[in-house]
Structures are given as structure tokens and as C-alpha cells.
Amino acid sequence: MEVRCRAPGKIILAGEHAVVHGAAAIAASIDLYTEVRISLHPSGQENELLELDLKDMGLNLSWPCSQLKEVLGDCSADGSVLVSCTSEKLELLSGLVAQKNMPQENVQLNSGLYAFLFLYTSILGYKPGKAVVTSELPMGSGLGSSASFCVALSGALIALSEGFSLKTKEKKDQFSFRKNDLELISKWAFEGEKIIHGKPSGIDNTVSTFGNMIKFKKELKTTNPMMPLNSTTPLKMLITDTRVGRNTKSLVSSVSERVLRHPDTMSSVFNAINSISDELALLVESPAEYKVEVSEKEEKLKELMQMNQGLLQCIGVSHESIETVVRTTMKEKLVSKLTGAGGGGCVLTFVPTLLSAAVTEKVISELEQCGFRCFMVEVGGPGVQVFPC
């Protein structure tokens, strides 16, 4: 049996940092994907292995299934029953990965390997098989690469689990997950995210699973602080990866320290960012049938992004590399803002519908001359997708 599953990355359109302090944030999927292909091998053979091929990094790892069972013990291997990774199990997973003597430059992958082993064995048990992973998302840049991996992996594993059947679409050879399956995939992916990040918000795996856009606010008076948004017009963004690493925890802490020093002023900033998120949510769901309406809608979106970037700059999370992108794109009257933690990472530049290809190419060329990497993406597309092989 073999299945291929892919899940998108994400961007934060508005509300980063302020969301930690009670403001709303808007997140959306992008058409850059992580793909996981899993093939199960016949059981009952000698030297059964669980293999992981990380194509983009040239790493091929394997664990004997007998060793996994000996170290991790018996497991229910029921994908329909969600379980969390205990600290004891995490220690066992750490030992299994440590035996591989990962090269120093790949040590940051360890937590992802723990997540892989946990999800695979929890859902499929100790069945021999091979997982091949490829991704279009740069790691550690704030585009949700880890969540995309966990969602694609969980989707493939659920699709291969006993008693599962895919929903056939109208077109031949197209399949999809049912709503309750998507909810289960998102929950399993969140367990993987917890292994990788400790205390994730749940935004990344939700967007990667369901796609489109969501509005997130911790203080929403519902059991689920995430509200789906239905974007009525396609959005294009130029994503610039500054290749500048950032420490998310440190940046979040620095904002919190600024709150302690200037509580009233920072409260006003967060309220302003919350208003931007609220207005953006209404804007993306508002209809725009004619060119004039689309242009007006895009102009409002540009203004909201510009204001949001200014507020993020004033709370201290911008960076010289981010401001370089802002200045470079501003030459062509384009608006940019950081996405995610800031301090480097990625920057969004809104691409209007009527922008010429020549201008786009010129901007990309200038940004690449600065040593940055650029991706043109569509925003708010589908979530996790499955393709039986």
C-alpha cells in the first residue's frame, strides 16, 4: 500500500505578537507544500525496517521495527484514538534518534524526527514501511514548515490506517478527506507540533489542515478560538526569505518586557493591531465583482498591511533585513510587512492584480541581489490533500 499526502505552509497576514496579548490575528495557507509519501511493506519478513528519506537534506535513516517495539513497548496503533507523547516516551524517542549520530549541521532536525517516530508508531504501530519527505518551505523562517510536515505525515498515516476509506471526488483519481478525518489529522499534527515546539498555538496545524484563512483570538468566548474566514478574491504575495535567523522566544520576551515598561502605550498599540485584524477579516470576506471594487479592496489591504508593519516596527520586532525589503518594494509603490516573529525571517509583499510582470521581476531581482530568496505564492488555497498511488 502506498499513499501521497501534501499540506501547505502558512503566513500571518495580521496580528503577530499582539495575539499573545489578547489581540486577533489572521493566518492563511500558501501554495508552498510539504509532501510525504508512505509505502507499507509486507509484514512477516526478516529485518523489517521503518525508513525515513529526507530528500531535500540527503538524509536516509532507518530503524529496525523489532528495535522500535523493544524500546517503545506495545502500543494500540489506532489512528482514531488520539494520544499525547509523555516525557518518558520522548526520552525513549530521543535515544532512538541519538543512535543515528546526526551530523552537527542537522541537529536541529532531531525534534522533527521524534515527532515522526511518535506519529508513525502511534497510528500504524510497528508496520515496516518507508516515508519519503520533500518540501518547498524553508525551515525555521516562520512559514509553518514543521506544521506542514506534521499535517502531511498525519494525513498519510491516517489514510493508511485500518478501517479508513477515502472520499472519492467527481473527477477520476481525485480523493479527499472527510471533515471528521480532517479534524483528527489536525489533532494528531498538533501532538507532533507539541513535540517540536513545546507549546504551539495550534494556528499553524489548523491552517495547514483546513486551508483558506482563519481568525484567531484567545479570548473568543467559544470552545474554539479559531474562526474560519472565506476569502472572496484571490490574493498573491511575494514572500522574501531574508535568510536571517531569529529567536522567537527572545522576540516574544522582548515585547513582554516593553509592555511592563510602557503598559498604557503598548495596550494602545495592541488595540490598534486588533482593529487591523478585525478590519482585514471583514475585507477578505467582502465581495468584489468588478475591477474598480477589486482595486479599492486591494488599496485598503495595502493600507492595513502598511499600518501593521509600522506598529510591529514600533514594538521592536522589525530588523534591518526586513526594512531593506520594505524600502526596496516601496520604490515600486508596493507594501510589505514582516510575517511571524520578525527579527529576520520572512517578509510579505502584496502583489496587486494589475501589477505588471516586468515590475515583479525587477523587484525580485533587486531583492535577490541583497542575498534574499523570493517565492511568489497564492494565499488562502486548499489545506491537506491526499493522492493514492
**Alpha-carbon distance values, 125 to 4, 57, 72, 205, 218 (Å):** 19, 26, 10, 23, 35
The catalytic position among 31, 74, 173, 204 is: 204
Pairing state of beta strands 385-388 and 2-14?
Answer: antiparallel
| Backbone torsions φ then ψ of 27, nearest 5 degrees | -120, 155
Pairing state of beta strands 25-40 and 49-54?
Answer: unpaired
DSSP state of 108: G
Is 260:208 a contact under the CB 8 Å cutoff? no
Pairing state of beta strands 213-216 and 336-339?
Answer: unpaired
| Backbone torsions φ then ψ of 226, nearest 5 degrees | -110, 130
Is 192:154 a contact under the CB 8 Å cutoff? yes
Is 303:105 a contact under the CB 8 Å cutoff? no
- What is the Cα–Cα distance from 119 to 75, expressed in whole angstroms? 12
Whether 74 sits among the annotated catalytic residues: the reply is no
Looking from the CA of 212 toward its CB, the CA atoms found within 13 Å total 14
Catalytic residue numbers read 204
